[in-house]
Amino acid sequence: MAEHGFVVPEWDYLKGYTVKMITQETIEKMIYIIRDGVKVILDRDLARLYGVETKQLKRQVRRNIDRFPEDFLITLTRKEYASLRCQNGTLEKGKHSKYLPYAFTELGVAMLSSVLNSKTAVHINISIMRVFVRLRHLIDTHREIAQKISQLERKSDRHDFQIQKLFDTVRAIPLLPEEKTAKVKGFVKE
């Protein structure tokens, strides 16, 4: 397995199995965010990664459904599925199953490795877990940056207020009359 990708068989209905290079970027593009920020991968994408047909993957999941509680496996609603179609041009109508897809959370993907017991499934799961961890790290980093910016804005607002108060205080000080200095004509002796 290469550092940035690995080769997996892919099932094509017309050609049968073909070989495809899978990278972490490919996996990242398969992760969708639904229902209040839950990150999921659709069954058809996982089947493609594992090199099996979607119906075979779903059959294995249904046979082991007790391993997939709600926080592991989500059946999308029609509205959610339609929303994904709007987000992603590859979810074209008529080219996919008439049944609503399963959406696997990170925990569900981890559980799939025990249901689909193959070397490919193990390698794919390791890569998917790494992508999920990387995404979580990126989100945490963005959250920290947003907090720091917010703190700086508050400090800036406080400093602006203090500077304005200083200017107001300075403006309120009555001006002293200018002292007139006597003009001396000629030379002055020290």
- pLDDT tens-digit profile of 143-175? 788 777 777 777 777 777 777 787 788 777 776
Length in residues, the chain: 190
Runs of H (alpha helix) within the chain? 24-29, 43-50, 54-63, 78-87, 106-115, 119-172
Q: Could you give the CA distance from residue 104 to residue 41 in angstroms, rounded to a whole number?
A: 5
Q: What confidence category does residue 32 fall into, taking pLDDT thresholds of 50, 70 and 90? A: confident
Please state the rounded mean pLDDT for residues 8-18: 54
CB 100, CB 78: distance < 8 Å: yes
* Three-class DSSP labels, 92-139: CCCCCCCCCCEEECHHHHHHHHHHCCCHHHHHHHHHHHHHHHHHHHHH
Token pair for residue 135?
Answer: 């995404």
Instruction: From 134, 123, 140, 141, select the one nearest 28 (Cα to Cα).
Output: 134
Give Cα separations from 45 to 29, 39, 51, 53, 180 (angstroms): 10, 14, 10, 10, 89
Pick the residue with more confidence: 177 or 112? Answer: 112
Prediction pTM value: 0.57
Beta-carbon contacts of 47 under 8 Å, excluding residues fewer than 6 positions away, are 11, 53, 54, 56, 57
Please state the rounded mean pLDDT for residues 69-86: 83
